[in-house]
Amino acid sequence: MKKIINIGSRLFPNTMAYFAYKTLTNPQLKKSNIREMDILNKAYKEKILFRKFNIQFYQWGEFNNDPILLIHGWEGHSGNFADVIESLVAQNYYVLAFDGPSHGFSTRRQTNLLEFSDLIIFILEQYRVKKIISHSFGSMITTYALSRSPHLEIDKYIMMTTPDTFLERINSISSQVGINGKTKEILIRKLEAELNTDITKICVSQFVKEIRVKEALILHDKEDKIIPIRQARMVNENWANGNLEEIEDTGHFRILKEPFVIEHIINFLKSN
């Protein structure tokens, strides 16, 4: 298949760039497992109308408790945080989460990181959240949102893995599927026109210089196969209030479930 895509991108670069664009802006729906559905079914659920989407919003715990917002990664959903949610509720947090545009149980339509980040801004403002946990590409979307909202101040922010540049993600996907340089350039121009920004400026290590976060913790596995540890290191080097803990034996997804990781999270949240 990679060879076919490579040939197609040389013969029909505009057509292949269009298909690549459609793939990037239409996240694949991943089925929830039994554990994830059990946690989601315990939530108070409501739909939030946000632009062209009905966003599935979740709440666990007591309303008067300390609120914390969970933000999943691209092609993820709120249920990915099942073990984290259970532990946070046990520690008397008021836990908020949502399925991003075209993710989980929210409306399925074409979307992009700008819409996703605008939704994060909306929720942070509505619920006056001061604590955040994000996973994977959700960390890029969250820092992008905060960089565009200098009025928002966060007390504690935990990244459970983080990418650095959006361009690196595009390069990685292009290499994986066999898209050539010309097709990739057409794709980048299309994305830049839609987002109204230079792709090279979508960069977590730059965003963290601008955002207002009092304390931050980055948890990233040294052997993460999805997002290399060097990206988290670059983010940490540029974050005055950041603290990177390089962990082992969790990978990119199991990091969300490991008890020792969740214990790190609770300790960080409880520290003064």
Label the pairing between strands 131-135 and 93-98: unpaired
Q: Order across the sheet with 44-50: list the strands.
A: 44-50, 53-60, 93-98, 66-71, 131-135, 153-160, 212-221, 244-247
19-72 per-position pLDDT tens digit: 888 888 889 888 889 999 999 999 999 999 999 999 999 999 998 888 999 999
Residue type, 235: V
- pTM tops 0.85: yes
The pLDDT, as a whole number, for residue 31 is: 84
Please choose, from the candidates 133, 27, 120, the residue with its C-alpha nearest in 3D space to the C-alpha of residue 80: 133
- In percent, the amount of the chain with pLDDT more than 70 equals 95
Compute the mean pLDDT over every residue in the chain, rounded to the nearest whole number.
92
| Mean pLDDT of the region 149-168 | 96
List, in sequence order, every beta strand (DSSP E) within the chain.
44-50, 53-60, 66-71, 93-98, 131-135, 153-160, 212-221, 244-247
| Mean pLDDT of the region 88-110 | 96
219-229 per-position pLDDT tens digit: 999 999 999 99
Q: With the CA atoms of 241, 132, 32 and 54 taken in that order, what torsion angle do they form, in degrees rounded to the nearest 10?
A: -130
Grade residue 167 by pLDDT with cuts at 50, 70 and 90. very high
The pLDDT, as a whole number, for residue 1 is: 60
Lowest mean pLDDT among 29-33, 170-174, 191-195, 196-200: 170-174
Label the pairing between strands 53-60 and 44-50: antiparallel
Q: Which residue has the higher pLDDT, 186 or 57?
A: 57
Tell me how crowded residue 71 is: count the other CB atoms within 10 A of its CB.
Answer: 30
- In the predicted structure, residue 3 carries a pLDDT above the cut 90: no
- Contact by Cβ (8 Å): 117, 144: yes
Grade residue 170 by pLDDT with cuts at 50, 70 and 90. confident
Residue type, 58: Y
- Contact by Cβ (8 Å): 150, 210: yes
- Contact by Cβ (8 Å): 27, 74: yes
| Mean pLDDT of the region 97-109 | 96
119-137 per-position pLDDT tens digit: 999 999 999 999 999 999 9
Domains and CATH numbers, the chain: 1-30+165-202 (no CATH), 33-162+204-270 (3.40.50.1820)
Which residue(s) pair with 93 in the sheet?
66
The pLDDT, as a whole number, for residue 172 is: 80
- Contact by Cβ (8 Å): 24, 173: yes
How many Å apart are CA 171 and CA 24, to the nearest integer?
Answer: 12
Lowest mean pLDDT among 150-159, 163-172, 233-242: 163-172
> What angle separates helix 113-127 from helix 137-147, to the nearest 10 degrees?
70
- In the predicted structure, residue 156 carries a pLDDT above the cut 80: yes
How many Å apart are CA 235 and CA 243, to the nearest integer?
Answer: 10
How many Å apart are CA 57 and CA 49, to the nearest integer?
Answer: 10
- Contact by Cβ (8 Å): 5, 179: yes
The pLDDT, as a whole number, for residue 205 is: 97
The residue behind tokens 């996240």 is 27
The pLDDT, as a whole number, for residue 9 is: 67
